[in-house]
Amino acid sequence: MADGHKRPHPIVAAMPYLWLAAFFLVPFVIVFRLSLSDDVLAQPPYAPLFEWSAGWSGVREFFAGLDFENYAFVLTDSLYIEAYWQSIWIAAVSTAILMLIGFPVAYGMARAPQGWRPILLMLIILPFWTSFLIRVYAWMGILTREGLLNQALLAIGLIDEPLDILATNAAVILGIVYSYLPFMVLPLYAALERQDDTLLEAAADLGAPPWKSFWLVTFPLALPGLVAGSLLCFIPAVGEFVIPDLLGGSDTLMIGRTLWTEFFTNRSWSVASTIAVLLLLILVVPIALYQNIQSRSLERN
Amino acid sequence: MDNLVLDSRLRGNERMLSIANFPANTRDARGEGQQRLTSRSEPLPASEAAGREFSPWTDPAAVPLIRFQNVTRRFGDVTAIDGLSLDIYEREFFALLGPSGCGKTTLMRMLAGFETPSEGRVLLGGQDLAGVPPYRRPVNIMFQSYALFPHMTVADNIAFGLKQESLPRAEIVERVSAMLKLVHLEGMERRKPDQLSGGQRQRVALARALAKRPKVLLLDEPLAALDRKLREQTQFELMDIQATLGTTFMIVTHDQEEAMTVADRIAVMDHGRIVQMGAPTEIYEQPSSRYVAEFVGNVNLIEATVSGRDGGAVLLESTIGSPLRAIVTENIVPQTKVALALRPEKIRITVRKPDTTENVARGEVVGIAYLGDLSIYQVRLESGQVVKAARPNVTRVAEQPIARGDKVFLSWTPEAGVVLTR
């Protein structure tokens, strides 16, 4: 495959690297440097600062002022550990539910008549046309004690007392599942839609009843799509801030919220940066996994 | 459906559709296969090896393995198969030949269970297949696209059908390696389909379809994706494998050369009907209609009117000029409009005037196609019709070469042409 293609012009080849350098590497270096600093009551609220005027000794002084104190602090404080755990747990449960809902939806779309598929695809993408924030706010209206859900359940007599759904982890999971569903469905749909129907005929011809053909052919071939969808949901869900802030309760301790509190309430830029760097490290494994699968499926095509 | 029972009490490998007097289970099929193998391993006369003296369809006592009885298949307003009846016998290599859209693939898919007849019955081993799902039919397809499972290795692909029968592990391994040997793919078992060439994939598809030892192997345009050399080689291998295993093969193809090479019997199809059925020589030398004559091989059709009879021959009048005489088997009344079908290789092309006055035509060479083994001459007759004549190049340098623009004579014997009334 590579033989037939001309090498791209160096500037073209460098574009993604320049982009990543400008918008990922440089900010990361700044955040990392902040995480090694100490908080001070000043403007800016961290030290040491780089003294250009002091020359070589200024550089030495600057590096001498950096340390890993914050990491030791965050990693030994049960509050932060608990926040990381809860974030991962909520993201994992949400991703599992997303898989269970997303697979049948994507499968149904891929099996729908050819003419219907663009319409169904459109319907999946349609919610993105309204603001994400408004959609999450709408859930608050649905889930409150006086909300639509409780009113409906009371009206049909399923419950006697309104349920406290809002401000629980369940509401956060619900919000994440609702908001991230397209990210699960789209890669799964792509994987299922390009499957050759003759493969299922071949499986049937060789003696596999429909449920077995599904399990032995359809599912394994959709697996890259399922993994891609799961990572697309899991990675941003771990660091999610808006949904737990709006739908979660006081005991919902997700890392995005903790970070916000450190930064804006405690004005501790260094601890906030440390939390961010550690979050990135936690997510590096799934991100690398995702990249690996992506490049493998690219190779195959 | 009453006599079809899915007997779950049977042991794993026999858990297939058990049909009365129909040894569908694989153990039986295997026993028969081996028996056949030994009975056929003695030296065979050349014609038998070519499958040409094998003709159970001429034996009125023979019981067909596959029967299509008045089968019709409609898709909306389109009739894909139109009241078709067809008998295929055990161990036969049967070809369905026709252009795309003639219904040959639909017919094959009905046997596999992917289509159901709108009317009529399909029987296998005497049992009606109506209502039997594809996964319970002792029939396997080699798909045109091969349909190999891309996420499985070659060995897993071949073993797929065997695993569905829950055969013991050791037997699966043994059968997979036997299949790999049969299709000359030893050492490839760990490869994935995308690491194979087109020819190798075709072999894996064949091995996978044969691994279950089906009653009937269906081949859907099996060689269409291969280049010419490989296709020819594979045709002979297919014939070898069919002779070795004794499985009934049914091939669907639009390539008349392929059908003629491999098949014992060919059915030529058009618009959902069989227009002629017979051995390849019969189809080629005794076409029953203009359609068959034109579809199978090259042919010149000379429109004529019957002017009289002379013993076993008819006399024809045409625009060619010279009186035409052709041997016929059926009785054709005078004044009937007919076509005289003449294969190019049966026409002699000469510069000198032949001695006879019958079956001679004058013309001018307007084109020559040199094919190496043959040269095809396009000759415009005085009537304006362009006729093709073939001449084998038996010497490296022709003594009397015929060039473009030469005036030539075409002549043929009364046996050379076929008189077509349809």
Residue A244 lies in a domain: yes
Based on the domain organization, do B218 and B120 belong to the same domain? Answer: yes
* Chain B, nearest residue to A206 by Cα: B161
Based on the domain organization, do B51 and B78 belong to the same domain? Answer: yes
**B343 close to B299: Cβ distance less than 8 angstroms:** yes
Q: Which residues contact B23 (CB under 8 A, 6 or more apart)?
A: B29, B32
CB contact under 8 A, B114 and A201: yes
Based on the domain organization, do B259 and B312 belong to the same domain? Answer: no
CB contact under 8 A, B135 and A300: no
Q: Is the pLDDT of residue B30 over 90?
A: no
Based on the domain organization, do B271 and B306 belong to the same domain? Answer: no
Judge if ipTM > 0.85: no
Residue A70 lies in a domain: no
Q: Please count the structural domains in chain B.
A: 2
CATH number of the domain encompassing residue A230:
1.10.3720.10
pLDDT in tens, B331-341: 777 777 888 88
Shortest distance between the Cα of B139 and any Cα of chain A, in A, equals: 7
Backbone angles phi and psi of B276, in degrees to 5: -160, 145
pLDDT in tens, B227-281: 888 888 888 888 888 888 888 999 999 888 888 888 889 999 988 888 888 888 8
Q: Is the pLDDT of residue B12 over 60?
A: no
d(CA A279, CA A288): 14
Contacts of B166-169 spanning 24+ positions with Cβ under 8 A: B166/B12, B166/B13, B166/B15, B167/B12, B167/B13, B167/B26, B168/B12, B168/B13
* pLDDT score, position B11: 33
Residue A67 lies in a domain: no
Q: What stretch of H or E contains B268?
A: strand B265-270
Pairing of strands B248-253, B93-97: parallel
| Contact with chain A for residue B247, Cβ under 8 A | no
Task: Provide the β-strand partners of residue B17.
Answer: B6
**B69 close to B181: Cβ distance less than 8 angstroms:** no
CATH number of the domain encompassing residue B334:
2.40.50.140
B397 against B75, higher pLDDT: B75
Q: At what angle do helices A169-193 and A117-125 cross, to 10 degrees?
A: 150
Residue A5 lies in a domain: no
* pLDDT score, position B28: 36
Residue A157 lies in a domain: yes
Shortest distance between the Cα of A111 and any Cα of chain B, in A, equals: 17
Binning pLDDT at 50, 70 and 90, where does residue A296 land? confident
* Chain B, nearest residue to A217 by Cα: B149
Sheet with B313-318, side-by-side order of all strands: B324-327, B313-318, B300-310, B337-342, B418-420
Based on the domain organization, do B280 and B309 belong to the same domain? Answer: no
| pTM, full prediction | 0.76
Binning pLDDT at 50, 70 and 90, where does residue A89 land? very high
For residue B96, the 8-state DSSP code is: E
Residue B230 lies in a domain: yes
Residue B26 lies in a domain: no
Query: Hey, what are A236's tokens?
Result: 């941003």
Residue A94's domain comprises 78-300
For range A219-229, the mean pLDDT? 91
CB-nearest to A198 from B147, B194, B212 is B147
Binning pLDDT at 50, 70 and 90, where does residue A71 land? very high
Based on the domain organization, do B237 and B126 belong to the same domain? Answer: yes
Q: Is the pLDDT of residue A122 over 90?
A: yes
Residue A253 to residues A45, A178, A243, A258, Cα–Cα distance (Å):
26, 20, 12, 7
Residue B36 lies in a domain: no
DSSP string, B312-330: TEEEEEETT-S-EEEE-SS
**A121 close to A189: Cβ distance less than 8 angstroms:** yes
How many CB atoms are closer than 10 A to CB B99? 13
* pLDDT score, position B29: 37
CB-nearest to A202 from B139, B143, B212 is B143
Residue B20 lies in a domain: no
| Contact with chain A for residue B272, Cβ under 8 A | no
Based on the domain organization, do B354 and B213 belong to the same domain? Answer: no
Q: Please count the structural domains in chain A.
A: 1
Residue A23 lies in a domain: no
Residue B308's domain comprises 298-420
Q: Which residues contact B198 (CB under 8 A, 6 or more apart)?
A: B225, B226, B230
Indicate the average pLDDT of chain B.
Answer: 79
CATH number of the domain encompassing residue B172:
3.40.50.300
Q: Is the pLDDT of residue A253 over 90?
A: no
Binning pLDDT at 50, 70 and 90, where does residue B10 land? very low
Pairing of strands B93-97, B265-270: parallel
Of B41, B66, B20, B52, nearest to B246 by C-alpha is B41
pLDDT in tens, B46-66: 344 444 467 777 777 777 888
